[in-house]
C-alpha cells in the first residue's frame, strides 16, 4: 500500500479506475467539478447522459467484475434485460430482421441510472472518497531529477498525490496542463464523420393501450443511403420510459426542435417509431449532441514523460457513440490498469508507459471499428496531416498514413471482423449501438459480437 491517488473526473472511466486504485493506494480521491445528484439524474458534466447509452455485453461483464452486485442493482432499479435479436423490431439495409433467440441478455437503462449505481457501489469501497464541486485546473510536478506529478491544482490550493489519473472525458484540458509544465502534449488523431444525435424522452403508454401488433420491446431503424441519412432507435429504460434518438450521419444532423423532431421521425425509413410515440407522452424537450468525432490522444507514443500521470476513458480515446463503445472500453481499461499496477507497481516510473501501451493495444480494435465505418461516409473530416497522408496514398481511406503525429489505425475489413469476432481483446461482444452505412456493416458484425 502506498500514499494517495487522485482521479480527476468521477464519471464512468474515473469511477472504474478508482475502484482498481483502491487495491493499491492508501487513499483514492475522486475529484469532480459537478455536484452529484441524489440517485439517477442529469448533471452538467455529463451532457451525453440524456442520450441513449447501449452497454455492450463485455461492458456489463466488466462492470459486474469491478463492482459485484452491479447487475442485480440495475435490474432491481428497473433496467430491462432484453434479447435484442428476439425483442427488437430491427430494420436493416436488407429489410426487417427475422426474430431469433440469441441467448444474449442486454441491459437497457438510462446512462444516469448506470452511473449512479456504479458511483454508489464505489462509495462502499474502503479508502475511496468522492469530492464534489471541485474543478481541477492543472497538474503540479517536480522537474528534477525527472518530471514527476506531485499534486493537482485546485482553485484554492493543491491536493497532493503520488498518482494522478485524468478521466475528464472528451473535453479534457490535460494537454494544456502538460503544456503548462513545459511538456509537449501527445499527438491526436481525429476522424469526424459529422454525426449528431437528437433525443427525446417519453412515458410509454400503459400496456393495456398497446396495439396488438406491438410485440416489440424496442425499435431500431437503420439509415439507407442516399435517401435516408438518419437512423432512429426507441430504447426502453427504467421507470416505464422510452428514449427515442435520431442519429444523423455525414452532416445530416437531426433537428433539435419538437416539431422538427416529430417530422424527422416520420421520415425515417419506417414510420414505426413515429407511430409508437403518438401513443406516448413526451416528458422532455429535444436534446441535441454534435460532439461525436472520434479522437485518439496518443499517450502510448508520447515522447515526453511525466511519472505518476495516467489518463483513461474518453480523455484518451473518444469514439463516435453510434458504435456504443465508450463505457465498455472505460471499464476494460480499469482492468488493464490493475494488470499494469501488478506488473510494475503503483509508484514505478514505468507505470505510465506500461499502462498507456496496454490501453492503446486494446483500444486499437475499437478505434478501427469506429473509424473504419466512419471513413465510408462522404464528407468525413480528417486532421490536416492525415488528409495529406491519405492524398499521398491515393485517397484510400483505410490506409495507415505514416507520420510522427498519428495514424488512422483503420485495418482492412477482414482484420476488423476477425478482431471483433475473436472477442478476446475487442471491446465488442455486442453489436454497435447504431450501425453504419445503411446497416450493411452491422449484420455481418453482429453474429460474433454478442457473446455474453
Ligand X SMILES: Cc1cc2nc3c(=O)[nH]c(=O)nc-3n(C[C@H](O)[C@H](O)[C@H](O)COP(=O)(O)OP(=O)(O)OC[C@H]3O[C@@H](n4cnc5c(N)ncnc54)[C@H](O)[C@@H]3O)c2cc1C
Q: Which residues of the chain form contacts with ligand X (CB under 6 A)?
A: 8-14, 31-34, 45-46, 48, 51-54, 135-136, 167-170, 197, 289, 292, 313-315, 321, 324-328, 330, 433
Q: Which is nearer to ligand X, 12 or 265 (CB)?
A: 12
CA-closest candidate to residue 432, choices 188, 202, 222: 222
Q: Which is nearer to ligand X, 116 or 205 (CB)?
A: 116
The rounded distance, in Å, linking the Cα atoms of 114 and 11 is 10
Q: How many helices (H) and strands (E) does the chain have?
A: 13, 22
Whether residue 372 contacts residue 412, with contact meaning beta carbons closer than 8 Å, is answered with no
Residues in the chain: 452
Q: Where are the beta strands (DSSP E) in 283-343?
A: 287-289, 294-297, 309-311, 317-318
Q: Give the shortest CB-118-to-ligand X separation in angstroms.
A: 10
CB of 188 to ligand X, least distance (A): 16
Shorter beta-carbon distance to ligand X: residue 133 or 392: 133
Comparing CB distances to ligand X, the nearer of 325 and 359 is: 325
Nearest to 316 by CA among 182, 168, 418, 429: 168
Look-up: residue for cell 455529463? 46
Any alpha helices (H) in 88-193, and if so which ranges?
A: 111-123, 174-180
| Cell numbers found for residue 323 | 458504435
Phi, psi of 427 (to 5 degrees): -75, -15
Given a contact cutoff of 8 angstroms between Cβ atoms, the answer to whether 116 and 275 are in contact is no
Positive/negative CA dihedral, 428, 430, 435, 439: positive
Least separation in angstroms between residue 278's CB and ligand X is 25
Q: How far is the CB of 234 from ligand X (least distance, A)?
A: 14
Closest CB to ligand X among residues 296, 398: 296
Q: Smallest gap, in angstroms, from Cβ of residue 206 to ligand X?
A: 28
Q: Which is nearer to ligand X, 167 or 358 (CB)?
A: 167
Q: Which is nearer to ligand X, 168 or 450 (CB)?
A: 168
In angstroms, what is the minimal distance from the CB of 324 to ligand X?
Answer: 4
Query: Is 8 within 8 Å of 31 (Cβ atoms)?
Result: yes
| Residue 389 to residue 396: CA distance in whole angstroms | 10
| Distance of closest approach, residue 399 Cβ to ligand X, in angstroms | 27
Amino acid at each position: 500500500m502506498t500514499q494517495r491517488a487522485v482521479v480527476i473526473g468521477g464519471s464512468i472511466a474515473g469511477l472504474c479506475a478508482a475502484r482498481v486504485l483502491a487495491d493499491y493506494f492508501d487513499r483514492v480521491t475522486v475529484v469532480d467539478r459537478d455536484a452529484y445528484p441524489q440517485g439517477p439524474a442529469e448533471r452538467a458534466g455529463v451532457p451525453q447522459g440524456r442520450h441513449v447509452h447501449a452497454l455492450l455485453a463485455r461492458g456489463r461483464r466488466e462492470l459486474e467484475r469491478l463492482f459485484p452486485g452491479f447487475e442485480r442493482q440495475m435490474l432491481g432499479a428497473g433496467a430491462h434485460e432484453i434479447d435484442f435479436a428476439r425483442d427488437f423490431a430491427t430494420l436493416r439495409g436488407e429489410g426487417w430482421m427475422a426474430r431469433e433467440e440469441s441467448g444474449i441478455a442486454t441491459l437497457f437503462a438510462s446512462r444516469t441510472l448506470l452511473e449512479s449505481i456504479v458511483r454508489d457501489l464505489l462509495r462502499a469501497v474502503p479508502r475511496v472518497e468522492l469530492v464534489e464541486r471541485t474543478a481541477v485546473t492543472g497538474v503540479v510536478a517536480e522537474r528534477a531529477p525527472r518530471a514527476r506529478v506531485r499534486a493537482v491544482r485546485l482553485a484554492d490550493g493543491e491536493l497532493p498525490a503520488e498518482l494522478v489519473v485524468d478521466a475528464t472525458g472528451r473535453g479534457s484540458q490535460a494537454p494544456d496542463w502538460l503544456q503548462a509544465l513545459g511538456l509537449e502534449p501527445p499527438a491526436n488523431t481525429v476522424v469526424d464523420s459529422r454525426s449528431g444525435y437528437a433525443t427525446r424522452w417519453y412515458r410509454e403508454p400503459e400496456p393495456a393501450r398497446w396495439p396488438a401488433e406491438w410485440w416489440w420491446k424496442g425499435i431500431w431503424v437503420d439509415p439507407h443511403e442516399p435517401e435516408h441519412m438518419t437512423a432512429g432507435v426507441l430504447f426502453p429504460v427504467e421507470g416505464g420510459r422510452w428514449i427515442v434518438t435520431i442519429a444523423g450521419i455525414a452532416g445530416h444532423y437531426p433537428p433539435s426542435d419538437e416539431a422538427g423532431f416529430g417530422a424527422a421521425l416520420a421520415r425515417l425509413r419506417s414510420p414505426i417509431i413515429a407511430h409508437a410515440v403518438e401513443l406516448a407522452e413526451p416528458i422532455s424537450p429535444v436534446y441535441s449532441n454534435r460532439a461525436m468525432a472520434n479522437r485518439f490522444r496518443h499517450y502510448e507514443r508520447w515522447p515526453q514523460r511525466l511519472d505518476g500521470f495516467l489518463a483513461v476513458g474518453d480523455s484518451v480515446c473518444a469514439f463516435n457513440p453510434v458504435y456504443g463503445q465508450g463505457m465498455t472500453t472505460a471499464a476494460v481499461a480499469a482492468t488493464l490498469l490493475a494488470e499494469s499496477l501488478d506488473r510494475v507497481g503503483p509508484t514505478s516510473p514505468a507505470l505510465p508507459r506500461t499502462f498507456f501501451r496496454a490501453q492503446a493495444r486494446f483500444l486499437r480494435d475499437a478505434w478501427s471499428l469506429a473509424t473504419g465505418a466512419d471513413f465510408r461516409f462522404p464528407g468525413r473530416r480528417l486532421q490536416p496531416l492525415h488528409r495529406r497522408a491519405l492524398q499521398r496514398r491515393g485517397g484510400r481511406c483505410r490506409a495507415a498514413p505514416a507520420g510522427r503525429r498519428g495514424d488512422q489505425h483503420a485495418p482492412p475489413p477482414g482484420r476488423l471482423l476477425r478482431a471483433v469476432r475473436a472477442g478476446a481483446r475487442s471491446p465488442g461482444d455486442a453489436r454497435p449501438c447504431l450501425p453504419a452505412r445503411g446497416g450493411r456493416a452491422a449484420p455481418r458484425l453482429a453474429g460474433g459480437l454478442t457473446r455474453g
